[in-house]
Amino acid sequence: GVSSVCQVYIVDVVPPSLRAEYMSYLNSSTQASVLFGPSIGAGLSALGLQAPLFVQCFVSVLLCFVVYAHLPESPEWCRLSSPVSPVFSGGGTVRTSRQREVGMGRRNMLYIVFSYGILSLCGMLSQMAILSMFAIYSAKVYDMDSVHVGFTMTLGAMTSVGTNIWISPKLLHRIGEHGSSLMGFVLISVGAWMISMQPIQITLLGFMMAYQGLAISSSAVATAAANMTDTTTRSSIMTGTRMLKSLGAVVGPTLSGHLASTDVRLPFKVASLVGLTGFVAQVLNKPVIQRIQERLRQRRSVGKDSALLEGQWVDEHGTREEIWDLGVFVADLLTKRHYRWVTYNLELQHFLSDSFPALPKVSEAAHRKAYDCRRRIVREQYKLEVAKTTMSYQELQEAYQSLQRRHEDLQVEVLRDKPRKMSKSEDVKWGRQEFTAAMTGFGGNY
């Protein structure tokens, strides 16, 4: 657990250009603990079998106070956890964060954890298979005593520490994480196979080669995994790969013990095959890793105050989850606002293209000004349309009321001009008179 937290903290506070050195230094501390831990424990055991445990407990408690008092909190953690200020606690300008914190996507994160976790698993499984069985193999094949075995393993640990401090950082800068990891797995595979060979000179040379390969591979995989993270996925990726590495530390000795009961050379041959598996996995994963690296490079401006990074504008690219969420939102919005976006999909795409013109990217101020101007135009157009609609409604309402008043006036006129109701005999007499008057013009005598 502490090692994972240390890796996350280093990635948070160390710029990418210096991560190779510091990740190598952290790995060298692990090798140093393997180198000096047993010797110190053996010396303390002279004071009692419980003395190493008490010393370890005292050192752990002491380091808790030292870390609490002198190690500041990670700025990235403060920025993500504080709703008020993204800057380091205890200084800086307090301002409200408006950026939306996003990650690289769950699918990409799981693939990174699986890819680098498998590489860490292969490296640690090979390392523990070699370390756990080397003493038994040397004693059985070459009749080496504990002093010579201890000296050999201590020498290997010392060369591994030196490799982590002086060689691994230079390799990482020269041939990159991918090339360094491949070199490390080649050294592991060849060295582990040479251990199972005779004479003793080949065995010792293979042992040293395997140790150097373990150091180079471990630094390369840890640095590559760290460079594939962002602020929201860093802890998940680093902890996930570390868990698979710890699994290799458990499986390695257990598997080697069963294999050694059959043939004492078999654990080293299996370690060689595991190293070869790591090499193949690294080669097969390269295209996908490159695609994720390109996506991370495209998302460098996500969550930043400005998209101008090092004088160059970096457009934002969404993950599959973000694209899906936005698409669902837009489709639901168009449906609720009565757009026939399924029938007229192509026409709607043209409409959206016209509604979102390209914004200038010469500066952040010009970009923001154009965005605000465009948004103001849309709002004013919306207000104008609402005003026109309101005016049309009022005009129609006034016209309706005018027609209603005219209708009422006509009803009054009709009621005023309507003749009184006549009896049947008067009605017949009046009809005959009208008929006689009408027929007079035709010369009739009626």
Query: Is 415 a residue whose pLDDT tops 80?
Result: no
Measure the CA–CA gap between 313 and 295, rounded to whole angstroms.
15
The amino acid occupying position 122 is: C
Contact 13, 5 (CB under 8 A): no
Phi-psi region of 48 (alpha: psi -120 to 50; beta: other; left: phi over 0): left
Residue corresponding to tokens 């602020």: 231
Interval 218-225 mean pLDDT: 93
Answering whether pTM is above 0.85, one says: no
Measure the CA–CA gap between 369 and 360, rounded to whole angstroms.
9
- CA dihedral sign, ordered 331, 336, 339, 340: positive
Contact 334, 344 (CB under 8 A): no
Q: Which helix (H) or strand (E) holds 314?
A: none
Q: For position 434, what pLDDT does the model report?
A: 52
**Tokens describing residue 247:** 């699994």
Give whichever of 5-19, 33-47, 112-126, 304-318 has the largest mean pLDDT.
Answer: 112-126
Contact 195, 268 (CB under 8 A): yes
Half-sphere exposure of 208 toward its Cβ, with a 13 Å CA cutoff? 11
**Tokens describing residue 191:** 């060295």
Give whichever of 182-186, 345-349, 424-428 has the largest mean pLDDT.
Answer: 182-186
Chain segment 227-281, per-residue pLDDT in tens:
998 878 888 899 999 899 999 999 999 999 999 999 999 999 999 999 999 999 9
Q: Which helix (H) or strand (E) holds 313?
A: strand 312-313
Question: How far lies 320's CA from each of 104, 107, 163, 267, 324, in Å?
Answer: 9, 9, 41, 44, 6
Percent of the chain scoring above 90 in pLDDT? 39
Packing angle, helices 200-227 and 19-44, rounded to 10: 130
Using a 10 angstrom Cβ sphere, with 0-12 exposed, 13-18 middle and 19 or more buried, the burial of residue 437 is: exposed
Of the candidates 182, 183, 184, 208, the residue with the CA atom closest to the CA atom of residue 195: 208
Contact 11, 19 (CB under 8 A): yes
Measure the CA–CA gap between 140 and 30, rounded to whole angstroms.
29
For 24-118, where are the E strands, in sequence order?
none
Packing angle, helices 106-141 and 146-162, rounded to 10: 150
Interval 395-416 mean pLDDT: 77
Interval 357-362 mean pLDDT: 88
Measure the CA–CA gap between 17 and 377, rounded to whole angstroms.
45
Q: Strand, coil or helix: what is 305? A: coil
Measure the CA–CA gap between 141 and 148, rounded to whole angstroms.
14
Residue corresponding to tokens 């104008």: 384
Residue 363: pLDDT band with limits 50, 70, 90 = confident
Q: Which letter, b or e, does each residue of 131-141 get, where b requires 16 or more Cβ atoms within 10 Å of its Cβ?
A: bbbbeebbeeb
Query: Is 37 a residue whose pLDDT tops 50?
Result: yes
Helices (H), 261-315: 266-298
Chain segment 75-115, per-residue pLDDT in tens:
777 776 665 443 333 444 434 444 454 567 788 899 999 99
Q: For position 403, what pLDDT does the model report?
A: 82
Higher pLDDT, 100 or 45: 45
Higher pLDDT, 317 or 410: 317
Q: For position 88, what pLDDT does the model report?
A: 38
Average pLDDT, the chain: 83
Q: For position 99, what pLDDT does the model report?
A: 46
Question: How would DSSP label each residue in 200-264?
Answer: HHHHHHHHHHHHHHHHHHHHHHHHHHHHT--TTTHHHHHHHHHHHHHHHHHHHHHHHHHHHTT-T
Query: Is 141 a residue whose pLDDT tops 90?
Result: yes
Residue corresponding to tokens 């027609």: 403
Measure the CA–CA gap between 256 and 277, rounded to whole angstroms.
17
Chain segment 312-354, per-residue pLDDT in tens:
888 988 888 889 999 999 999 999 989 999 999 999 899 888 8
Bridge partners for 308 per DSSP = 313
